[in-house]
A and B are shown apart, each in its own frame.
Chain A
Amino acid sequence: MSAIAMDIRRNRLMMSYLIVAVLLVVLAVAGGFLSDRFLTWRNVGNLFQQLIVLGMVSLGQTFVVLMGGIDLAIGSLVSALTVFLANFLEWRPDLVWLALPLALVAATAVGALNGLLTVVLRVHSLIVTLGMSSVIFGGTLMYRKEPGGSVPRAFADVAYAKIAGIPVSAIILVAIFALAGLWLQRTRSGRSIYFVGGDREAARLNGLPVDRIVVLAYALSGLCAGIAAIFLTARTGVGDPRIGAALTLQSVTPVVVGGTILAGGRGGVLGTFLGVLLVTMLNNLLNFVNVSSYYQWVIQGLIIIIAVGIHTSRRR
């Protein structure tokens, strides 16, 4: 057996990545056969343009899951932010420079609040973020029941801008993922996420600032939701109080498909990135072959179950 194969065998995470990568290739080839428009530059460009929203929320979810929690407030938060952005920009289109940072700060603050609540109340993150999700959703509906607002043209263009044929949003996404990977692997706070997720009590007895790390993970998840909301608003041009509803669960799919385990402490952002690619490509392909979006839901659910099944069966 070659050294590389040995290495992959030893490293389960690498193996997870490999499986997802192979699935990606299989899907791409299958797509090529099923539709002659699938593997065109135009479609690939489209596909990459679609990555950013799912990519960002999944990245945020990755931080929280690695730390040993789960963030169910992501979808409501994104919805609320699109409503805020679209309505703010309709009112003062010239204040884009203010609206965007404001949205990011608010998003981070909500995330941090989630973290603080789990730390202070010692309530499971599932409950805290579920409650928070409901509060945000209700609050948004009180303010706007229907989609509304508008965005200036220049801002909308952000979603579709390209450099040398490559969507800017995809470049930003890759850059953010690379930074996130570096942060997780090579910094104190990043690695502490793994420590806290691996064993919270052990982390405490090793002198790590556990509570701060928990809050940090949620705050980052909030920030990621903020970035996702900005691109989503730019793309759709409106603020929709329900647009993010599906995102919460969708954000979990790439994380688990990418080999990060829900118990925390094991996994990484590369897996999530591949997972995002896989899910997005699959949905794109299903659109091409005219499969209704209902089936897309079914298939996405099956993917979660099968992926986790594969990952855990190899662990035995």
Chain B
Amino acid sequence: MSSSVIELSQIEKEYPGVKPLDKVDFAVQPGEIHALLGENGAGKSTLIRVMGGAVKPNSGAITYLGKRVSWQSPKAARAAGIHVIHQELALFPELSVAENILVDAQPRGRFGLISNRARHARAAEILAQLGVSIPTHARIDELPLADQQMVEIAKALVGKVRLLILDEPTAVIAGHEVDLLFENMRRLRNEGVGIVYVSHRLEEIFEIADRVTILKDGQVVGTAPVGEISREEMITKMVGRRLSQIYPARRAAPADGPDILSVRNLRAGPRVRDVSLSVKAGEIVGVAGMVGSGRTEVAEAIFGARAVEGGVIEFDGKPFPRRVPKDAIAGGLGFLTENRKDEGLFLGLPISANIMAPDLQGITKYGLIDRSRERVLAERQIDDFSVATPSPDVKVGNLSGGNQQKVLFSRWSRIANRLLILDEPTRGVDIGAKVEIYRIVRRLADSGVGVLMISSELPEIVGLSDRVFVMAQGRVVGEVEGDALGEEAIMDLAVRSIERHKATAEEIA
């Protein structure tokens, strides 16, 4: 297969104690979209880095365009036509679109100075090539995420791109934006570019990819044309076991008894205009809605992390006089934040410290932290939630995304014996860990905890929730439960109310 854009053979990479890549063979043909599938920690990112020159393999050969290569730096790989688009975009938010696109190829004019006019002309040319209309003078931070991603792709087109690698590009965009991205990927494919596409979302792989390679524990466990492998086979290969069922069974009967949480006409800032919802003990209540509809802000207001302007928050039938997260925690509330790395975990600290962080008084004796008790408690939680770690002393930053999320569950399930708020509990987590998390959530609910779950993934909302509140533009626009609970019903509510809102706005105007 000398026609490959890139061909890796027997690539190995080893760090002390871990081997992210173990004799990996991987090849991308020109004009092919090759999906790379695997759980978190399977070695996908390391493989991408090897191809992009950011990581040097310990052994194995890389053949690029028919020649043996050994990248000395990402710059060398890029110069040769390999462009990697990471999940976290590498853009300068304060600079213009044109400056970003031509970041390492600023066109020179007279006297060797950068020519502003040439820059914008060239940038516009590249964007036109992509079929998107983004103003080249706009600052990056003024653009929606989807456009920012297009700018990132445009950067790849400055030179001659032969291999484009996209690491979970759809994690931050949705709907129409995904379509646009796919359209451009197809266009590049038709021009003969080889594309490596990393994603957790199986649906997307079926839609866009030609071939799929599945990694598990650093080894290739299968590679096949997309048409010749079923969804079930992919999951089985990736997780290493058959998934009879992704979602645990719902409650047999609707929860009765009084509400644990009752929110009425809550107002808190521009994104929470009028929210009423309730959660009973033992019930999983979903909160659906578009990104930006105010879901996270509602959770923050309930938890005391956001100022409340009006309305009532009742906890166990009593007005909840909490002002700060500390009081909420004392009342038996827990909040698994959306962005676990910035708002949830202390990545540089050990698992045990992370688990016990909100409950230090619980392990303090005579003013000193009882470390053996801390360890015992932490180990119990680690077992209980099957966090994969050799010891509670391991730093959380060294765990995979799924395991980090399980650490958060270990932390909050101890304290939140009344109500647990989950904000995107499975973001950036592979399917194996997702299934585990779903079971954890259901188990917590069965133990009598009320669960309020915010999620952008409708299958998850529908699959797990007993009841769902739909939000749009800072308001709860509807409630779905029982047999009516389905993706269409939810989308319908979310979209229709936005359109109605627009219509009213136009009438007023």
Contacts and interface: CB of A to CB of B under 8 A. Distances in A.
B503 interface: no
Contacts of A195: 346, 349, 353, 357
Question: How big is the A interface, by class?
Answer: 20 to 34
B345 interface: yes
B409 interface: no
A266 interface: yes
B310 interface: no
Contacts of A165: none
Contacts of A206: 325, 329, 357-358
Given A9-B16, A187-B364, A198-B346, A208 B353 contact: no
B368 A187 contact: yes
B369 A208 contact: no
A199 B361 contact: no
Interface in A169-215: 182, 185-188, 191-192, 194-195, 198-199, 201-209
A266 B344 contact: no
B343 A198 contact: no
A205 B369 contact: no
B303 interface: yes
A188 B353 contact: no
B105 interface: no
A202 B344 contact: yes
Contacts of A194: 346, 349, 353
Contacts of B315: none
Interface in A224-269: 265-266
Given A186-B369, A207-B324, A199 B353 contact: no
A209 B326 contact: yes
Given A186-B368, A187-B368, A194-B353, A207 B358 contact: yes
A186 B328 CA distance: 25
A210 B154 CA distance: 43
B256 interface: no
Nearest to B335: A205
B502 interface: no
A208 B361 CA distance: 11
A188 B361 contact: yes
B360 A192 contact: yes
A186 B358 contact: no
B342 interface: yes
B337 interface: yes
A205 B305 contact: yes
A199 B339 CA distance: 12
A199 B347 CA distance: 8
Contacts of B358: 206-208
Interface string B355-373: 0011011001001110100
B348 interface: yes
A185 B329 CA distance: 23
Contact of B345 (A202, A204, A266): A202
Given A186-B369, A207-B329, A209-B326, A191 B360 contact: yes
Nearest to A9: B16
B342 A201 contact: yes
A203 B305 CA distance: 12
Given A187-B364, A199-B346, A208 B326 contact: yes
Contacts of B344: 202, 205
Q: Most chain-A CB neighbours within 10 Å: which of B335, B345, B368?
A: B368
A207 B16 contact: no
A207 B326 contact: yes
Nearest to A204: B325
Nearest to A189: B360
A216 to B, nearest CB: 15
A105 B2 CA distance: 77
B13 to A, nearest CB: 14
A202 B408 CA distance: 12
B328 A199 contact: no
A20 B305 CA distance: 42
A202 B353 contact: no
A156 to B, nearest CB: 37
A191 B369 CA distance: 9
Interface in B355-401: 357-358, 360-361, 364, 367-369, 371
Contact of A265 (B349, B361, B367): B349
Nearest to A267: B348
Nearest to A201: B343
B345 A207 contact: no
A201 B337 CA distance: 11
A205 B334 CA distance: 9
A204 B342 CA distance: 11
Nearest to B17: A10
A202 B347 CA distance: 10
A265 B326 contact: no
Nearest to B367: A187
Given A188-B361, A192-B360, A205-B325, 14 more contacts: A188-B364, A194-B349, A198-B346, A199-B347, A201-B342, A204-B325, A205-B337, A205-B343, A206-B358, A207-B324, A207-B325, A207-B329, A208-B357, A265-B349
Task: Please list the 9 inter-chain residue pairs (A to B) with the smallest Cβ-Cβ separation, ordered nearest first.
Answer: A207-B326, A198-B346, A207-B329, A188-B360, A206-B358, A206-B357, A186-B368, A207-B325, A266-B348
10 contacts: A187-B368, A188-B364, A191-B369, A194-B353, A195-B353, A199-B343, A202-B342, A205-B344, A207-B328, A208-B357
